[in-house]
Chains A and B, each alone.
Chain A
């Protein structure tokens, strides 16, 4: 490498420009592939973007923190985007109101299944306690999950990765699970994906239909609220029950 190129690299690796631009480029490439694949769920744009960026970071030996210093501008937009979910929710309000009772029951069933089955399967297969407590909130939106994991004694940053993995899994494979169960209604499909796969499932649901997206957004919000208040006292109780 000539000194000149090295200087450019040193400069770029200290500004946020590179991390930000790479994130957008990787996403453009991933979205192009997703479109070429006819929006097939397996070509999930989050999955492909993360694969591209993780490979780049590992190959160039760039620390994650350096990358994140740039990518944080994209990460920040999660806040206003979460607030913006109120708009599709409002659009579906008449139908939501009509289904309020069933939605709440499905929420409790789905939320408990998501947390307890993750803990149980992980515990059966011998995961460490830190990993188990990072797994338990894996179905809710990243900021809530990180807060809950911290309270339970998990690792917040590991939780972020597990949350996003659960999101990608639901977005990629949710359709075939629902197909096998002969669930056609977009409202039901969206709600189920939102419970299990939070924002990434919601993003996928919006690409299918606005109705599916709105129900996914509602499920994500409700599951976030329920998990934030319930898991911090359920998990210690579950642990005591099975420690004996």
Chain B
């Protein structure tokens, strides 16, 4: 587990160095994710240790958003003043984005799907 965590941190660090060094607007961890993905393609998959550690970390991904979310206490005044536009924009826009993405993807994949074999994948 320690070896796997070290690996994740090393990829994050390299991603961070690339992001800052090249002045990219993309966060280091996202670059780290892309690099690790490439490494997995080259290596032919993760080790059992890495797979398990990643699984444990991702299983409780929700926990990691709690500290930033609690920052809502800083914005009581602004939310009181602008609650309607903020809430309406958040709800409607999130629903719209889900609907548009799902409809576009589902329309495009239905066409390319082979009717004889049914579902792609499993």
Contact = CB atoms under 8 A, between A and B. Distances in A.
A190 to B, nearest CB: 10
Given A77-B57, A85-B58, A105-B108, A192 B66 contact: no
Interface string A69-84: 0011011011111111
Interface in A107-150: 107, 109-111, 113-114, 117-119, 121-122, 124-128, 131, 135, 138-139, 141-144, 147-148
Interface in A147-203: 147-148, 151, 157-158, 160-162, 164-170, 173-174, 177-178, 181, 183, 185, 187-189, 191-193, 195-197, 199-200, 202-203
Interface residues of A, number: 115
Interface residues of B, number: 75
Most A C-beta atoms less than 10 A away, residue of B9, B54, B69: B69
Contacts of A84: 8, 33, 53-54, 57-58
Given A50-B72, A83-B29, A106 B120 contact: no
A82 B104 contact: no
Contacts of A98: 120-121
Contact of B86 (A57, A77, A148, A162): A162
7 contacts: A49-B66, A90-B46, A101-B112, A165-B72, A177-B99, A192-B97, A192-B102
